[in-house]
Every structure is written in C-alpha cells, then in structure tokens.
C-alpha cells in the first residue's frame, strides 16, 4: 500500500494558523479612551459567550486624541466617540447582528474608567434602559487579595 | 552516482507540522485568555409613565445607601443612620436583608412562595436604594455595588448550607440555585441620582 503523502500538511496547518492570527487581530477595536476598570473580589464573574457581549467604553480620551477631544471622559461605541443619545442606535445595530434566539440574552459590557464621575455613567444607563438593553455588566478585573 | 546526476538529499520536513501546531495552539490559547469579567446587573424597565409615581414602600423595608460628591457613604435604615466606611457596608446590608432577630425596625419577614420549593419566610419586600450624585466617583460606586453583591452571596451561601447542606456554587444550577436566589433576591434599586427609583 502506498504511504499517504504528508508533505502538504505543514502548509495546511500554516493556513489555519494564519487564519487565526488574522481573525484575532481583526476583532480588536482600537480603544481610543483610557480605561482602567476597577477591581473587585469574589463577586466578579467571567463572561461566557463573547458573541452576546457588546462593549461600551467610557473614559478620558487617550493622549493622541486629547488635542481634538479634550480630557473630559467620553463614550466610545465601536470605533468612534459618541454622545449618550447614540447608544440607542448602537444597541439596535448590535441587536440586528445577532441571532433571533440570542437577542434577549444580549449583554452590554460597560468598560468604565475608575476615575469617571457617575453623571455620564447614569446617562448611559438611562439610554440603555430606553433601548431595552437591560443586561449590563460593570466590567472589572479580579483582585485576588480579597479572597 | 556513476551517471553524474547526484540527487541532493531533501531537508527533513516532518517536524514542520508539529512546529506550526505549537504556534497554532499558542494563538488559540492567548486569544481566549482575555475574557471579559465583571459584575452583572439588570436594569429596571424603562417606563416613562411610572417615573412620577411614588412607590409606596414601608419605611422599615427601605435601606438607603447614598454616596455623595465627596465620595462619602451614608447609610440609612431602621436601626442605623450615619456615615460608614465601604468595609462596614457588607455586614450592615446582611443584617438588613436577613433581619435575623426579627427586629421591628428592619424589613418585614413574611411567608413567600417559591416555585419548585415551597414557602419560606423571608424579607421579600426589602429594597436597597442606591443613590449617587452626578459627581460621585465611579470606583466608589463600584465598590459599593460589589459589597452589596457580596452581602447577597454570603446570605445565599449560608441559606444553601443550612437547607441543602452544601455551598451555593455546588447546588444544582437548574433546580436549587434559582430557589436560593428566590429567597434572597437582588433588590438593589439603581435609581437616577437624587430620586427614588422603582423596585424590581
């Protein structure tokens, strides 16, 4: 019986490897605000099923954007800075891209900088309520000292 | 050999597949590593008609946690009304939520029907109202939320151990955990600043 020719196997796997490298770098949105999320202890849960999660970033713009946007905390949706009023549109476009059965499970991950004041957070929460995106997560890191 | 055509021996490539496999696995692992984590909450429904409506809640059932613009925390319920530190909040909240001594100034303990279990006596009508100022620091707010969550988890864990004889996380996710959550259900009202919100 002739042996199977495996000389193309490395190429095949390289292709898969490149695919993964591309996909992972593409998914990252350039974060234009500085966000250092607070840390908590035992109550921090990991988010499962990334496909259900949309991110809203709130924080002071990064250094290279300060000249244009100033240092006051801003909201970032997708790639762009936005006003709280834009959240409803953002939520409905995120919802559109989901499977029908997943829509009620949509979660909004609020990546908010520690130093932000509550006013902007409250505005965002109110807009989320209006957009009927009620499942939210205050994004936070886990701090193991607390355990 | 004798014919003058010498064949160059090929490079052994059999390990190339393994090397790229290792790279592939490395990428797979690193990408899944940055999972998001955080504190889950459910916002109340938006109902513009109800905004004006004053909720009729007995005073003893309400605990107000107020974080002012100087990031000082004030707690007010039937037995306590003062400024506190974040570290004190968990125990104050636990005493308020559970009302272990049936204190008449803390939430009413009444029978409550839980689907799939039966009737338990619990402070089902308690409400924790969390109020902030527009200039309150987010980190303090988050710590307060975290401490309140911790109070609920510890009460749930204690109840699960007493009734089911095991930790809350070891309880069955489909049958037992919803019961425990029903006994001490999260009643944190995330109201707009300086305004009482609706209970869940």
Query: Residue A17: CB partners within 8 Å, gap ≥ 6?
Result: B20, B23, B24, B27
In this prediction the pTM is 0.77
Say whether B83 sits in a helix, a strand or coil.
Answer: strand
Least confident of A20-24, B17-21, B65-69: A20-24
Looking at the predicted complex, does its ipTM rise above 0.90?
no
* Number of other CB atoms surrounding residue A25 within 10 Å: 9
Concatenated DSSP letters of A39-88: EESTT-EEPP-GGGEEEEEEEPBPHHHHHHH-SS-EEEETTEEE-GGGHH
Return the pLDDT at A22: 73
CA dist., res. B6 & res. A22, Å (int): 43
Instruction: Indicate left, alpha or beta for B37 from its phi (over 0: left) and psi (-120 to 50: alpha).
Output: beta
pLDDT in tens, B141-156: 999 999 999 999 999 9
Q: Tell me which residue in B35, B44, B146 faces A40 most closely, judged by beta carbons.
A: B146
Q: Is the Cβ of B190 closer than 8 Å to some Cβ of chain A?
A: yes
Confidence of residue A25 (pLDDT cuts 50, 70, 90): low
Whats the size of chain A, residue-wise?
147
Of A14, A42, A118, the CB nearest to B138: A118
Q: Which of A48-57, A110-119, B2-11 has the lowest mean pLDDT?
A: B2-11
Bridge partners, residue B119, by sequence: B113
How distant is the Cα of B69 from the closest Cα of chain A, in angstroms?
9
Is A40 close to B143, i.e. CB distance below 8 A?
yes
> Alpha-carbon torsion A87, A91, A94, A96, what sign?
negative
| Structure token pair of residue B124 | 């089902």
Q: Which tens digit of pLDDT belongs to each residue from A86-132?
A: 898 999 988 888 888 888 888 898 999 988 988 888 889 889 988 88
Query: Longest Cα pair distance anywhere in chain A, in angstroms?
Result: 75
Chain A interface includes B23 (CB < 8 A)? yes
Whether the predicted pLDDT of B195 surpasses 70 = no
Predicted local confidence at residue A58, as pLDDT = 92
Strands A53-59 and A45-46: unpaired
| pLDDT value at residue B192 | 62
Average pLDDT value over all residues in chain A: 83
Write out residues 49-108 of B within 8 Å (CB-CB) of A. none
Give Dmax over CA atoms of chain B in angstroms. Answer: 109
Q: How many CB atoms lie within 10 A of CB B9?
A: 6
- Tell me the CA distances in angstroms from B162 to A65, A135, B110, B159, B197, one per residue in order: 56, 31, 19, 5, 34
Residue of A nearest to B140 (CA): A114
Instruction: List Cα–Cα distances, A114 to A13, A80, A100, A140, B69, in angstroms.
Output: 43, 21, 35, 10, 15
pLDDT band at residue B43, thresholds of 50, 70 and 90?
confident
Q: Which letter does DSSP use for residue A117 in this model?
A: B
Condensed to tens digits (0 to 9), the pLDDT of residues B102-144 reads: 888 888 888 888 877 888 888 888 888 888 888 889 989 999 9
Domain ranges of chain B: 55-189
Assign a CATH topology to domain B55-189: Nucleotidyltransferase; domain 5 (3.30.420)
Which chain A residues are Cβ-neighbours of B154 within 8 angstroms?
none
- Reference A53, options A137, A143, A142; nearest CA is A137
What is the number of CB-based contacts under 8 A between chain A and chain B? 144
Is domain A39-146 given the CATH code 3.30.420.270 in the classification? yes
Please report, rounded to a whole number, the percentage of residues in chain A having pLDDT higher than 90: 6
Can you give the pLDDT at residue B35? 67
Least confident window among B7-11, B85-89, B161-165: B7-11
Residue of B56, B58, B77, B79 lying closest to B66 (CA atoms): B77
Q: Taking residues B36-52, what's their average pLDDT?
A: 76
The string of DSSP codes covering A5-29 is --TTHHHHHHHHHHHHHHHHHHHPP
pLDDT level of residue A144 (50, 70, 90 thresholds): low
User: Is the pLDDT confidence value at A27 over 60?
Assistant: no
Record: contact A134-B38, CB cut-off 8 A: no
Q: Where do we find the tokens 């953002």?
A: A90
Cα(B57)–Cα(B176) distance, integer angstroms:
30
With 50 as the cut, is the pLDDT of residue A147 above it?
no
Q: Do B44 and A129 touch (CB under 8 A)?
A: yes
> What's the gap in Å between the CA of B146 and the closest CA on chain A?
7
The answer to whether A36 touches A113, Cβ cutoff 8 Å, is yes
Cβ distance B43 to A142 less than 8 Å, yes or no, reads no
Q: Which long-range contacts (CB under 8 A, 24 or more apart) does A22-31 make?
A: A24/B27, A24/B30, A24/B31, A29/A55, A29/A78, A29/A79, A30/A79, A31/A57, A31/A62, A31/A76
Distance from CA of A4 to the nearest CA of B (A): 13
CB B124 within 8 Å of CB B183:
no
Q: Give the pLDDT band of residue B198 (cuts 50, 70, 90).
A: very low
Q: Which two tokens stand for residue A45?
A: 């849960």
């Amino acid at each position: 019986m002739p042996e199977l020719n495996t000389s193309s196997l490395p190429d095949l796997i390289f292709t898969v490897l490149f695919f993964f490298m591309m996909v992972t770098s593409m998914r990252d949105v350039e974060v234009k605000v500085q966000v250092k999320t607070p840390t908590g202890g035992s109550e921090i849960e990991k988010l499962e099923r990334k496909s259900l999660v949309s991110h809203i970033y709130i924080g002071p713009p990064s250094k290279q954007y300060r000249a244009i946007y100033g240092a006051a905390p801003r909201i970032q949706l997708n790639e762009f800075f936005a006003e709280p009023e834009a959240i409803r549109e953002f939520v409905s476009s995120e919802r559109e891209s989901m499977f029908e059965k997943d829509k009620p499970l949509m979660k909004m991950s609020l990546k908010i900088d520690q130093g932000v004041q509550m006013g902007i957070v409250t505005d965002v929460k109110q807009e989320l309520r209006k957009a009927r995106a009620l499942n939210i997560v205050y994004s936070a890191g886990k701090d193991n000292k607390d355990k | 050999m004798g014919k003058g055509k010498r064949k160059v021996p090929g490079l052994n490539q059999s390990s190339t597949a393994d090397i790229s496999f290792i790279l592939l696995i490395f990428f797979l692992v690193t990408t899944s590593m940055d999972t998001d984590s955080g504190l889950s909450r459910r916002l109340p429904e938006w109902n513009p008609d109800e905004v004006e409506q004053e909720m009729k809640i007995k005073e003893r059932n309400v605990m107000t946690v107020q974080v002012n613009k100087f990031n000082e925390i004030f707690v007010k319920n039937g037995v306590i009304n003062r400024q506190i530190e974040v570290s004190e909040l968990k125990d104050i909240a636990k005493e308020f939520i559970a009302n272990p001594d049936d204190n008449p100034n803390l939430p009413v303990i009444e029978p409550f029907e839980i689907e799939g279990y039966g009737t338990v006596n619990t402070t089902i009508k308690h409400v924790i109202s969390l109020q902030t100022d527009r200039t309150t620091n987010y980190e303090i707010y988050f710590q307060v939320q975290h401490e309140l969550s911790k109070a609920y988890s510890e009460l749930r864990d204690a109840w699960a151990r007493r009734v089911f004889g095991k930790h809350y996380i070891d309880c069955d996710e489909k049958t037992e955990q919803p019961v425990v959550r029903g006994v001490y259900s999260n009643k944190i009202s995330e109201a707009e600043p300086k305004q009482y919100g609706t209970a869940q």
